[in-house]
Amino acid sequence: NELLDAGGEMVVRSIAEVNGPVANLEAAMICAGAATGMSLMAAAALSRGDSERRAALPRSEGFPNELVVQRTHSIAYDQSWETTGGRLVFAGDESGCERTEFVAKIGPNTAALIYLAEKPGTLTLEDIVEIAAEHGGLPVLVDAASVLGGAEARWRLSKYLAAGADMACYKGGAGIRGPQSTGLVLGKAEFIADCRENGFPNQSVLRAAKVCKEEIFGLIAAVEGFMAEDDEALTAAQAADMQTIVDAVGTIPGIVSSVIDGLDGSGPK
């Protein structure tokens, strides 16, 4: 517990030293991957500091357990939101989601609102934050697992919280290049405290999602290194690596290859 607390403080300090103070970037939890981060955020939104609710998870009947999200933000990892007792409620359809459609899905059983970072959707994060405020300050949870590449890489560790989200989760591997089995949850101190209570090493719904001491140290070091990098230089180096691959396979009959950047935060590929 002491190592996780100290590690979280070091991560927040490393980010703030580069990006400056950001509203809602108050605490961090190092966890066992971004999927675990999604589950922890959902558990925190469901339990909200209530020990009886926390002990009941993943059985969430009897208290708010619905997580509202645009249908266009439904992905293959949706199960991670529901692992700890959350129930996804989709607004709109594959063509988009109007504000009225999203609001219509909010009710007495709503525990939180979800946003998928840097992915298409009719409603922006700012829209979701406004809607949350209009409905008693519902928590806004951001899945930012795969956005730490490209021109905004370092800023994206602060971007969503600065826009008003309560929590955001990230991969510890990929862009940060820390241990592949680690992840980060960043956000308001009260919600990160709930994540901690619902996760390892506590006897809780995510007890099994362990992160070991070596991984904690590894991710702290990776975040410090990541925040010290230059976005443009790193992106250029990644693009050069991708071009090497393109040049190697481009001569094979039937293969058409090029370096692309989908502007989704993942960088050149």
The string of pLDDT tens digits covering residues 207-257 is 999 999 999 999 999 999 999 988 778 878 888 888 999 999 988 999 988
Query: Using one digit for the tens of pLDDT, what is the confidence trace for 77-105?
Result: 999 999 999 999 999 999 999 999 999 99
User: What's the one-letter identity of residue 129?
Assistant: V
pLDDT over 90 (residue 112) = yes
What pLDDT score was predicted for residue 262?
59
pLDDT 10s digits, 167-201: 999 999 988 999 999 999 999 999 999 999 999 99
Please name which of 268, 181, 171, 185 lies closest in space to residue 226, comparing C-alpha atoms. 171
Tell me the average pLDDT across 45-67: 96
State residue 265's pLDDT score: 63
Query: What is the reported pLDDT for 122?
Result: 87
Phi, psi of 47 (to 5 degrees): -85, -40
Instruction: List all residues 6 or more positions away from 54 whose beta carbon is below 8 Å from its beta carbon.
Output: 43, 47, 194, 197, 198, 204, 205
Q: What is the dihedral of CA 100, 114, 81, 1, to 10 degrees?
A: -150
State yes or no: pLDDT of 26 exceeds 60.
yes
Tokens read off for 233: 């230089």
Q: Which band of pLDDT confidence, cut at 50, 70 and 90, is reported for residue 119?
A: confident
**What pLDDT does residue 144 have?**
96
